[in-house]
Chain A
């Protein structure tokens, strides 16, 4: 039973560039959430996708956008990168028909130079 997977593991970009991060949910899960974790802090909720639509959003600018595909996998896109976007980006999945438990992937570490 595969857990949540994310790609790439690490990424280095420069200011102003755009980046796409990918997530495959745990088998049987249909809901995906994205979190940003800055160094030394707890994860912060970016948004949630269910049935290919954004259902809930945290306090992040429109530069952060996402997509969910029919197979439940998801992408996080960040445009016009800023130095402050450097962080660990975590994807979590859950089953809409199960408990509220969210399971996290290993994360993508993004460095913006």
Chain B
């Protein structure tokens, strides 16, 4: 099956710093979603981005489907950005989402 790897696995930032999270996938995909899982476990949709670049406030994402990777940029990080960031791709021809290995982000004051 498809492999979805994320890097780095862990990241500690000072408030105000910028960061780039990466998601690599081993096979062609039709779309890709980025999620933020807060400390209470809620998965929050960030982007639905099959290709190209999207921006939402301090966050932006780019997917290069032909090269099988996606990037999530976080600018001017805040403590509320802490949590785990997952990318996920549909597999099996249906609604099954395969999640990446996740990036644990901690933003400190």
Q: Could you tell me which A residues sit within 8 Å of B by CB distance?
A: 31, 33, 35, 37, 42-45, 48, 50, 55-56, 58, 88, 90, 92, 94, 99-104, 106-107, 109
Most buried by B among A50, A55, A104, A107: A104
Give the number of chain B interface residues (Cβ < 8 Å). Answer: 24
Apart from A33-B96, A43-B86, A100-B30, what 4 extra A-B contacts exist at CB < 8 Å? A37-B41, A43-B99, A48-B96, A107-B41
Q: Does B43 contact A94, Cβ atoms closer than 8 Å?
A: no
User: Is B33 on the interface with A (CB-CB < 8 A)?
Assistant: yes
Most buried by A among B30, B43, B48, B88: B43
The contact of B97 among A50, A102, A106, A107, by CB within 8 Å, is: A102
Q: Chain B contacts of A99 at CB under 8 A?
A: 31, 48
The contact of B96 among A37, A58, A103, by CB within 8 Å, is: A58
Q: Could you tell me which B residues sit within 8 Å of A by CB distance?
A: 30-31, 33, 35, 40-45, 48, 86, 88, 90, 92, 94-102
Q: Does A48 contact B94, Cβ atoms closer than 8 Å?
A: yes
CA distance A33 to B92 in the complex (A): 14
Q: Does A90 contact B43, Cβ atoms closer than 8 Å?
A: yes
Q: Chain A contacts of B48 at CB under 8 A?
A: 99-101
CA distance A43 to B88 in the complex (A): 10
Q: Looking across the interface, which residue of chain B has its beta carbon closest to that of A44? A: B99
CA distance A45 to B94 in the complex (A): 11
Q: Does B95 contact A102, Cβ atoms closer than 8 Å?
A: yes
Q: Does A101 contact B95, Cβ atoms closer than 8 Å?
A: no
Q: Chain A contacts of B30 at CB under 8 A?
A: 100
List the 6 closest pairs (A to B, CB-CB), nearest first.
A42-B99, A104-B43, A56-B94, A45-B96, A48-B95, A101-B48
- A56 with B95, Cβ < 8 A, contacts A100-B90, A101-B48 known: yes
